[in-house]
Structure 1
Amino acid sequence: MAMDFKQGWALLRMALDRASLYLPIILMGALALGTYWLVRNAPRLVQPAAKEAPIHEPDFFMRDFTVKNFLGTGQLRSEMTGKEGRHYPDTDTLEVDQVRVRSISPQGLVTHASADRGLSNGDGSEIQLFGNAIVVRDAAVQPNGRVLPRLEFRGEFLHAYVDTERVRSDRPVILTRGSDRFTADAMDYDHLSGVANLQGRVRGFIAPPTPGARR
C-alpha cells in the first residue's frame, strides 16, 4: 500500500509539473476570450449622423396672405399679397401664386407689380415675376416740379429690384411711358439714372409733346 501511495503521489507531481508548464498559455487564452467577450458585449458609441444635403422642398405654406416690410423709421417699404405662398429653406426664397406687390420708395414713389407667379428672396428686396408680369410706377411730381409720367412694364418675365428701383428682363417686354410706347427683346431699366437700356429688336412710338409740358 505504501508503494502504491508513493507511485500515485509521484504521478500527481508529474501531472502538476506538466500542467504548470501550460498554465501561462491557458491564462493568456482565458484573458483573450474574456477581452473578446467584453468587446462584443460593450455598448457601442453613437456614430454622428451624416449631415443631409438640403432638398428643395417647402417647409411651410401660406394661403391668402399679406407680408409687409418696414423701414427702420417704421415707414412701409413694401407689401406682398398672394393666393398661396411656399417657403424653401435651402434657397431662402418665397414662391407665391397670383402675387401682388406694392412698394414705396424713400422719395414716395409708388410701384405696383403683379404676375401669375412670383419668386422673392429672403428679405424681399428682389422679386422675379413669371407669367403676365406687370410693373407699374405711378405718375408723380418731384420736389423740383418735374412731372414723372406713369411708367409701365409688361412681359412674361420681369425681375424687379425693390431697393435699387431697377427692372430687368431677358425676354420680350413692352415699355409704356406716359403716351410713349416701346417694345424690345430685352431690357434693363434703372430709375436712379432714368435710363432704359432696350436690346434686340427695338421699336418705339413717341407721342408729340403737349404744349407747355416738361419731358
Structure 2
Amino acid sequence: MRDRLASAVSIILLVSLVAGTWWAADYAQRAVTTDPPRRLTHEIDSYVEDFVMVRSDPEGLPSTRMEGKRLVHYPDDDSSEVTQLRAVNQRADRPTTVVSSNFARMDEDGARIDMRGNVDFQRMAAQGRDALTIRSEQMTLRPDEDLAFTDQPATILNGRSRIQGRGMRYNNVTRELSIAQRTQVEITPGKSPAPRQP
C-alpha cells in the first residue's frame, strides 16, 4: 500500500511539473512580443561615399572598375543608385571603354547600368581603329556583354566623322555601331596624299 501511495504521489508531482512548465512556457511566449518579419521597402539600407568597385574575370584579372561620389543601396529590389559614376571596362581581347555620367542606377547584380545626365562613352583607339566617343543624356550599359545602347538622341564622334541620331547600339565585342535614325552626318576626309613628282 505504501509503494502505491509513493508511486501515485510521484506521478501527481510529475504531472504537476509538466503542466507548470507548459503553462510557464505559454505565458512567456504570450508576454514577450516578437518582432514582426522585416518588411522590405524602397528605403536606403546602406550607403558609401567616394567608392571604388572592381570586378574580376574568371581568371581573376580585373575587367570592370566602377567609381563614384556616392552609392546608396535599396534592399527591396537589390538596386543601387550612384552619383558621378565612372566605369572602365578593360579586357585583353577588346578595346578599353570609359563611361561617365552624372547619375546611374545599377541592378541585376551589376549586370545592367542605366546612366543619365551628361553620359560620355569613350572607346579608346586600338588595333588601327580611331577612338569612338558617344554622348547622350541617357544610356544603358551591359558590362558583362560589353554593350551600350540608348533610344535617346546621341552624338557619335568616330575619328574625324560626326553623326547625330536618335537611338544607338554599340557592341564592343564585334565593334558594330548601329544608329536607328540619323539626323545629321559629317564625314571629314582624311588628308589626301601629296601628288608624287614624276
Task: Give yes or no for TM over 0.5.
Answer: yes
- 1:113 corresponds to 2:99: yes
What's the CA shift for 1:190? 2.1
Range with greater deviation from structure 2 (89-98 or 185-194): 185-194
Are residues 204 and 44 of structure 1, via their aligned partners in 2, closer, same or farther at CA, if it must alter by over 3 Å?
same
- Residues 34-85 of structure 1, C-alpha deviation per residue, up to 9 Å, x if partnerless? xxxxxxxx74976997756521112111011111111121211111111111
Q: Which residue of 2 aligns with 1:16?
A: none
CA RMSD of aligned residues (A): 2.5
Output the amino acid matched with 2:44. P
- Residues 79-98 of structure 1, C-alpha deviation per residue, up to 9 Å, x if partnerless? 11111110112222221111
- 1:88 corresponds to 2:74: yes
Output the amino acid matched with 2:161. D
Aligned pairs, how many? Answer: 167
Range with greater deviation from structure 2 (56-65 or 104-113): 104-113
Identity of aligned residues (%): 25
Verify the 8 A CA contact 1:94 1:122 in the aligned structure 2. no
Q: Which residue of 1 aligns with 2:146?
A: 165
- 1:179 corresponds to 2:160: yes
Q: Which residue of 1 aligns with 2:132?
A: 151
Structure 1 residues not aligned, in runs of 5+: 1-41, 142-146
What's the CA shift for 1:109? 1.9
Q: Which residue of 2 aligns with 1:67?
A: 53
TM-score by length of 1: 0.68
Output the amino acid matched with 1:205. E
Structure with the higher fraction of residues in strand conformation:
2
Output the amino acid matched with 1:80. M
What's the CA shift for 1:200? 3.1
Range with greater deviation from structure 2 (187-196 or 65-74): 187-196
